């Protein structure tokens, strides 16, 4: 795939053009200093110097709550799907989060497509900003999701001393580069070498923090983890669901119908497999009534080889959000360590 160079003094011009072409979602700093992926309306709002965003990109493709259809129950039942159709460019988003979207694609864009997710996904373009320095909770290097990627993005931007190196990773990314060729020049070998140097240095900034993903994958796949490990983790976990809601790859949802006048709406909401009622059946039978069973199911879906084989990769991208969000020492890093020690 092609690589281009965008001089520093032309970055705002290109961002301005993107803003005129589509809704642009980019890292934006709020009063507290935290960064959230949010719609931006001018190039100056983009927080290029951030490390990680508080929330992943999931809510833009799979909103926390959405109306998926409206129905009327008059003489004849009428059902009308509600699809969100809008061009969106996700600019300067982190590679772990782009990889998270690729995991959601396997879930919602497989053999049986989810039309609501895919309506948004087809019109989304992902421009990632490679990380030059890891945040303290990051372990994307263990999750095979960064800090630099070889593929999986539409474009990957790397901030060099004099401007941006833009690597193209898809036809969508190439079309975007073609549309703005007047601002770009083909990347020179020394610019590609500068990026490789930055990538090497970025990997050296990962601290002591780690996650034993390979060990956990093997043991989960072979069902080698004793029940006591799950019981111990269940003693810690308070079932708040925070880890699942913050996770870029968790995709559990539930559906409710709400009556309104002569009809109503069907809504979908995020759910969490750790909740007691998540798998409870209409009869009242609950196949995962024990908390430890629910934890085992969650980590099996994140890390087992069976899941990875079906979906192309395991489902932890090492963003570290569950580590920050879990107050109970039952997050991904703690769990993989517990599984490894058995």
The DSSP symbol for 44 reads G
Stretch that binds ligand SF4, among 21-29, 106-114, 165-173, 234-242 (CB under 6 A): 234-242
> What are the structure tokens assigned to 231, written together?
């019981």
Q: Verify binding: residue 319, ligand SF4, rule CB under 6 A.
A: yes
> What are the structure tokens assigned to 329, written together?
């020492």
Question: Phi, psi (5° rounding) for residue 108?
Answer: -100, -10
Distance CA 78, CA 23 (A): 32
Q: Verify binding: residue 169, ligand SF4, rule CB under 6 A.
A: no
Stretch that binds ligand SF4, among 40-48, 86-94, 158-166, 318-326 (CB under 6 A): 318-326
Q: Verify binding: residue 320, ligand SF4, rule CB under 6 A.
A: yes
CA 139, chain centre distance (Å): 14
**Nearest CB to ligand SF4, comparing residues 121 and 302:** 302
Number of residues binding to ligand SF4, judged by CB under 6 A = 26
**Nearest CB to ligand SF4, comparing residues 4 and 212:** 212
N-terminal to C-terminal alpha carbon distance within the chain: 44
Q: Verify binding: residue 160, ligand SF4, rule CB under 6 A.
A: no
Contact 240, 246 (CB under 8 A): no
* Minimum CB–partner distance for residue 161 and ligand SF4 (Å): 31
Contact characters 274-313, ligand SF4, x per CB under 6 A? x---------------------------x-----------
Q: Verify binding: residue 328, ligand SF4, rule CB under 6 A.
A: yes
The DSSP symbol for 57 reads S
The DSSP symbol for 100 reads H
Stretch that binds ligand SF4, among 23-31, 71-79, 175-183, 233-241 (CB under 6 A): 233-241
> What are the structure tokens assigned to 116, written together?
């609501």
**Nearest CB to ligand SF4, comparing residues 268 and 321:** 321
Q: Verify binding: residue 239, ligand SF4, rule CB under 6 A.
A: yes
- Residue 140: exposed, middle, or buried by beta-carbon count in 10 A (0-12, 13-18, 19+)? buried
Other CB atoms closer than 10 Å to residue 340's CB: what's the count? 17
Task: Find the binder of ligand SF4 among 11, 14, 160, 316 (CB under 6 A).
Answer: 316
Q: Verify binding: residue 238, ligand SF4, rule CB under 6 A.
A: yes
Q: Verify binding: residue 243, ligand SF4, rule CB under 6 A.
A: yes
Distance CA 267, CA 82 (A): 10
> What are the structure tokens assigned to 5, written together?
């160079």
Write out the residues near ligand SF4 by the rule CB under 6 A.
237-243, 246-249, 274, 302, 316-322, 325-326, 328, 330-332
């Amino acid at each position: 795939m092609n690589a281009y160079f965008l001089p520093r003094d032309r970055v705002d011009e290109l961002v301005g053009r993107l803003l005129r072409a589509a809704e642009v979602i980019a890292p934006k700093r709020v009063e507290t200093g935290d960064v959230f992926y949010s719609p931006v309306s001018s190039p100056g709002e983009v927080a290029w110097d951030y490390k990680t965003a508080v929330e992943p990109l999931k809510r833009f493709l799979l909103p926390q709550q959405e109306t998926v259809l409206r129905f009327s129950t008059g003489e004849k039942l009428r059902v009308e799907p509600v699809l969100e159709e809008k061009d969106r460019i996700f600019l300067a988003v982190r590679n772990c989060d782009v990889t998270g979207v690729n995991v959601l694609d396997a879930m919602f864009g497989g053999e049986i497509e989810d039309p609501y997710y895919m309506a948004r996904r087809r019109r989304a373009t992902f421009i990632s900003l490679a990380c030059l320095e890891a945040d303290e909770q990051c372990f994307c290097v263990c999750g095979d999701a960064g800090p630099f990627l070889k593929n999986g993005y539409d474009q990957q931007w790397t901030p060099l001393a004099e401007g941006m190196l833009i690597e193209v990773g898809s036809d969508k990314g190439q079309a975007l580069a073609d549309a703005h060729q007047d601002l770009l020049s083909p990347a020179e070998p020394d610019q590609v070498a500068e990026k490789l140097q930055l990538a090497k240095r970025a990997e050296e900034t990962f601290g002591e923090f780690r996650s034993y993903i390979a060990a956990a994958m093997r043991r989960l796949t072979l069902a080698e983890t004793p029940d006591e490990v799950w019981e111990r983790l269940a003693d810690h976990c308070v079932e708040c669901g925070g880890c699942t809601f913050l996770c870029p790859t968790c995709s559990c949802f539930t559906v409710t119908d709400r009556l309104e006048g002569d009809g109503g709406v069907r809504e979908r909401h995020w759910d969490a497999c750790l909740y007691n009622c998540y798998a409870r059946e209409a009869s009242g039978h609950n196949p995962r009534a024990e908390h430890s069973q629910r934890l085992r199911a969650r980590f099996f879906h994140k890390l087992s080889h069976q899941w990875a084989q079906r979906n192309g990769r395991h489902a932890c991208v090492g963003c570290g959000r569950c580590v920050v969000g879990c107050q109970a020492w039952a997050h991904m890093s703690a769990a993989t360590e517990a599984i490894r020690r058995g």
